[in-house]
Amino acid sequence: MSSPPRATDISPESPRHRGVEELCEEFVAVCESAVHPLEIAGALEFDGWTDHALRNSFGASDVFTLAEVMYRRVPRRPAEPPPQPDLWRTTRWRPALHSLLYGSPAVCFTAAAGLLAGPGASTVVIVSLLVSWALSQGLAYLGYLRLGSGVPGQAERVLLTALSAGLTAVLAAISVVSVVASAGMPVLVFGVAMGSYMLGATVLLVLGAERQVLLALSPGVLGATAFLLLGRPSHLEHATWATLSATPLLAVGLALARTIRAVGPVRWAKLLSVTDVRKALPSAGFGLVAGGLLLFPVAVATPAHGAGSASALLALLPLTLSMGAAEWLLVWFRRRTQRAMRSTHNLRVFASRARLLLAAAVLQYLIMTMLLTAAVLAVVTGSRMLHPHWTTLQQIATYLTIGCSLFVSLLLNAFDSRIVPVIAGTAALAVEIACHIRRLDNQICVGMVLLAALAAYAAAVLGSAARHAS
């Protein structure tokens, strides 16, 4: 008895050949995307084709033989994968709102600065800013880390515990500094209130409660604005203090209410673990170093033709407002690199595109910050609140280099590269402190060196496709 003909031996004119062609058309999607004949064989068996049925219909000895024929006859045309959801889509209003929330406290600070008198006031304010910036960065990192776990109530529990610990730390630090600096009670209260507001607002921002932050800011900002526009009348000082005090109380109260309500009455006081604290240390260190870099020009500013610390604060305000733009550009960079990963199949090409996107993001941040600076200068000059001196331009240049450095550091932090920005920033700040740098051109040089070092490191790190895999 002769054996049945193999599928590969079927004549193109035979009915069995036409049957194989029809079968290829029926399974065209499987054949075009298959990387091995076994995938086609599996599809045939799943559809109910047995060796006996295939032998009778096509003369193939078994399903694997016919699958090999179909694999060779149908060219590979893999189907495009379904479009991936854009995990980094955001609205434009949210970063703009964050800019407003970051910059509005400057009005409160300006009004309070005229009400604070006595020795040690500047020391207490600087220490309060440094401590609260460091604690808020660590708190934000822990909050976002727990939000990413997806466990209900876990982020709120950690934030509640961290907020309680942070408020205690702020109170202790400001109390010690106030005693050492011989500061009065109003200065101590202001320092504690400023640090408490930053911690409470951080908790609300992590939980996406921007409207509650705006609500907390309203009394302080409105009261301070009215006080400044009316020329700082002495009979409104107590009323201004009352409105300023309402802002930190509201921020902390809303943050506690938001977290306690989500956690519930049970186990709300779960303590942070040593692992949590260790994970948050690089972020806290970054907040401390960033605060030091921002406040150093203010602390060492010397009066010159009516300028000095006022010029430094004037240059610092646009940088504060630019943090909303930095958030938007971070999302922009994430989205563009994700698109580049999906459309690029060569690692070197992707690295080049990622570095070009990095340069574009830094350039956009620089342009936005310069526009904000021009707007602030126009408002201040037009309202005659301050009379900027030419040294203000040098202060602005200093803060532009620092701002770009911090923006690159934020990008690196977003891609879980948190140690090098802290080390580089610490080195730059140590050089400024050790050399007692007061000249603005020297501060600019330190800022440019820091920016060049961070940019070079970011180009190497963010050019790796592995960093963008998640």
Report the alpha-carbon distance of residue 26 to residue 377 in Å, rounded. 71
Residue from 228, 268, 244, 263 nearest 190 by CA: 244
pLDDT(269) > 60: no
DSSP, residue by residue, 323-379: HHHHHHHHHHHHHHHHHHHHH---HHHHHHHHHHHHHHHHHHHHHHHHHHHHHHHHH
Burial of residue 246 (CB within 10 Å: 0-12, 13-18, 19+) is: middle
Answer whether residue 7 shows pLDDT above 60: no
Residue-level pLDDT at 312: 59
- Is the pLDDT assigned to residue 289 strictly greater than 50? yes
- Could you report the per-residue pLDDT of 242-261, keeping only the tens digit for each? 898 899 999 999 999 988 88
Q: What is the pLDDT of residue 116?
A: 76
pLDDT of residue 69: 84
State which amino acid sits at residue 6.
R
Name the amino acid, one letter, at 74: V
Is the model's pLDDT at 55 over the cut of 80? Answer: no
- CA 88 vs. chain centroid, Å, equals 11
Taking all residues of the chain, what is their mean pLDDT, rounded to a whole number? 81
The string of DSSP letters for 418-457 reads -HHHHHHHHHHHHHHHHTT---HHHHHHHHHHHHHHHHHH
Highest average pLDDT, of 4-13, 295-304, 450-459, comes from: 450-459
Sign of CA dihedral 243, 135, 363, 394: positive
Give the residue, 379 or 399, on which the prediction is more confident. Answer: 399
- C-alpha to C-alpha distance for 470 and 460, rounded to whole angstroms: 18
pLDDT band at 301 (very low <50, low <70, confident <90, very high): low
| Predicted local confidence at residue 5, as pLDDT | 43
For residue 4, pLDDT over 70 is answered with: no
Q: What is the pTM of this model?
A: 0.75
pLDDT at 346: 79
| pLDDT on residue 229 | 82
Residue type, 431: V
The whole-number pLDDT of residue 435 equals 78
| Angle between helix 37-46 and 63-73 (nearest 10) | 120
Lowest mean pLDDT: which of 129-143, 302-316, 337-351, 360-374?
302-316
The secondary structure element, H or E, covering residue 161 is: helix 154-180
- The answer to whether 75 and 32 have CB atoms below 8 angstroms apart is yes
Domain boundaries, the chain: 7-73, 93-272, 304-470
Alpha carbon 238 to its chain centroid, in Å, reads: 38
Q: Which two tokens stand for residue 85?
A: 């959801």
Q: How many CA atoms lie within 13 A of 51 on its CB side?
A: 6
Predicted confidence (pLDDT) at residue 468 exceeds the cutoff of 70 = yes
> What pLDDT digit, counting tens, does each position of 362-371 carry?
999 999 999 9
Amino acid (1-letter code) at residue 148: G
More confident residue, 165 or 115: 165
pLDDT band with cut points at 50, 70 and 90 for residue 86? low
pLDDT over 50 at 11, yes or no = no
Exposure of 210 in the CB half-sphere (CA atoms within 13 A): 11
pLDDT in the model for residue 389: 62
Q: Which residue has the higher pLDDT, 91 or 329?
A: 329
For the ranges 87-96, 128-137, 183-192, 375-384, the maximum mean pLDDT occurs at 128-137
How does 301-330 read in b/e, with b if 16+ C-beta sit within 10 Å? beeeeebbbbbbbbbbbbbbbbbbbbbbbb
Tokens of 3: 């054996």
Q: Confidence class of residue 268 from pLDDT cuts 50, 70 and 90?
A: very low
User: What local confidence, expressed as pLDDT, does residue 305 receive?
Assistant: 39
What's the pLDDT score for residue 399?
85
Are 74 and 31 within 8 A, CB to CB? yes
Looking at residue 275, the DSSP 8-state letter turns out to be: H
pLDDT of residue 250: 94
Q: What is the reported pLDDT for 254?
A: 94
What's the pLDDT at 167? 93
Q: How far apart are CA 45 and CA 24, in angstroms?
A: 14
For 14-46, the pLDDT digits (tens) are 445 556 777 888 888 888 888 888 888 888 888
Higher pLDDT, 74 or 77: 74
149, two tokens: 């776990």
CB distance 359 to 404 below 8 Å: no
How many Cα neighbours within 13 Å face the side chain of 163? 29
Res. 407 pLDDT band, cuts 50 70 90: very high
Per the CB < 8 A criterion, the answer to whether 29 and 79 are in contact is yes
CB 340 within 8 A of CB 353: yes
Instruction: Please state, in angstroms and as integers, the Cα–Cα distance from residue 123 to each residue in 128, 298, 347, following that order.
Output: 9, 12, 51
Is pLDDT larger for residue 430 or for residue 385?
430
Instruction: Out of 127-141, 380-394, 395-409, pick the least confident.
Output: 380-394
The more confidently predicted of residues 122 and 440 is 122
Q: What is the four-CA torsion angle of 26, 27, 31, 33, rounded to 10 degrees?
A: 110
The pLDDT of 350-368, averaged and rounded, is: 92
> What per-residue confidence (pLDDT) applies to 42?
85
The pair of three-digit structure tokens given for residue 18, joined into one six-digit string: 């036409």
Looking at residues 270-276, what average pLDDT do you find? Answer: 70
The pLDDT value recorded for residue 388 is: 59
C-alpha 8 chain-centroid distance: 60
CA quadruple 112, 394, 283, 265: dihedral, nearest 10: 20
**Residues 315-334 pLDDT 10s:** 677 888 888 888 889 888 98
Pairwise CA distance, residues 391 & 368, whole Å: 22
How many CA atoms are closer than 13 Å to the CA of 87, on its beta-carbon side?
A: 8
Share of the chain above pLDDT 90, in %: 26
For residue range 129-178, list pLDDT tens digits in order. 899 999 999 999 998 888 877 666 788 888 898 999 999 999 999 999 98
pLDDT higher than 60, residue 122: yes
